[in-house]
Amino acid sequence: MHPKLQYLLKEWVEPIALAIILALFIRTFFVQAFKIPTSSMRPTLIEGDRILVEKVSYRFHEPRRGDIVVFKFPRDKKKDFIKRLVGFGGETVEIKGGKIIINGKVIDDHPVIAGNYYYNRDDWPYGREGEPVRIPEGCYFVLGDNSAQSSDSRNWGFVEKRNMIGRAIFMYWPLNRIRVLK
C-alpha cells in the first residue's frame, strides 16, 4: 500500500470511523437529543427547545411519577412523543377540578403536577369528568403540562412499558433556557 494512503487511513479514516461508531453506540443505548415540536409541554418545554434524554435508568428502575418521558407514540411507533408521567399500571386516575386524582387521592406532593391545571375532555375516551380510568398493568398514563393544548393519554390511551425510550434530563438549547429538567 502506498505510504500516503496508509497515512490517510491511519490518521483520518480510522479516527473518524471510530467516532461515528462510538456516537451511534451512545445514541442507541445511553443519550439521545430531541427537539420539542409542539406546545403540549408549555411552560416546561417550548417549541424549538432541544433536550437530552437518557435511556439507561429505566432499565434498572421504574419511572417516577412526574418524570418527563419520551416514548414511542402508541398509534404510530415511528413517532416519538414527550409528556409527563402521572399514573402507573394498576392505578386509577381521574381529573377533577383541574387536579390529578390517583386511587382516590389528589396528587399534591409533586410541585409540577400539583401546580398545573388539568382539563377534562368529554370528547376523549380517557379524560371525562367523573370517570376514573384504570391503567392496565405494564402501562403508564401521561399528560402534557399544557393540557388544554395536549393530545395525550386522555385521547389515545396508555403507553406500554416496552415503548418507553427514556427520561428527559437536560435542556441545552436555546442558550438562555439551559437547565437540568426535573
Secondary structure (DSSP) of 105-121: EE--SSHHHHHSPPPP-
Determine contact, residues 51/145, Cβ cutoff 8 Å: no
Q: Which tens digits make up the pLDDT trace of 100-144?
A: 999 999 999 888 899 999 999 889 999 898 899 999 999 999 999
The domain ranges of the chain are 3-180
CA angle 166, 169, 170 (to 5 degrees): 135
- Can 96 be counted among the known catalytic residues? no
**pLDDT at residue 45 is higher than 70:** yes
> What's the CA angle centered on 110, arms 94 and 96, to 5 degrees?
20
Out of 10, 35, 40, 72, pick the active-site residue: 40
Q: What is the pLDDT of residues 86-110, one digit of tens each?
A: 999 999 999 999 999 999 999 998 8
Residue 68 cell numbers, joined:
418527563
The pTM for the full model equals 0.86
Q: Which superfamily is assigned to 3-180 in CATH? A: Umud Fragment, subunit A (2.10.109.10)
Which of 35, 77, 83, 150 is labelled catalytic?
83
Between 5 and 113, the more confident residue is 113
Higher pLDDT, 25 or 147: 147
Phi-psi region of 170 (alpha: psi -120 to 50; beta: other; left: phi over 0): beta
Span 4-30, average pLDDT: 72
The average pLDDT across 13-39 equals: 79
Q: Is the pLDDT assigned to residue 65 strictly greater than 90? A: yes
Classify burial at 25, counting beta carbons within 10 Å of its beta carbon; exposed 0-12, middle 13-18, buried 19 or more: exposed
pLDDT score of 84: 97
* Rounded average pLDDT over 137-160: 96
**pLDDT at residue 9 above 70?**
no
pLDDT of residue 31: 87
- Is 105 assigned a catalytic role? no
> Given pLDDT bands bounded at 50, 70 and 90, which one contains residue 71?
very high
Residue 79 CB partners (closer than 8 Å, separation 6+): 72, 73
The mean pLDDT value of the chain amounts to 91
Q: Phi and psi at residue 168, in whole multiples of 5°?
A: -70, 130
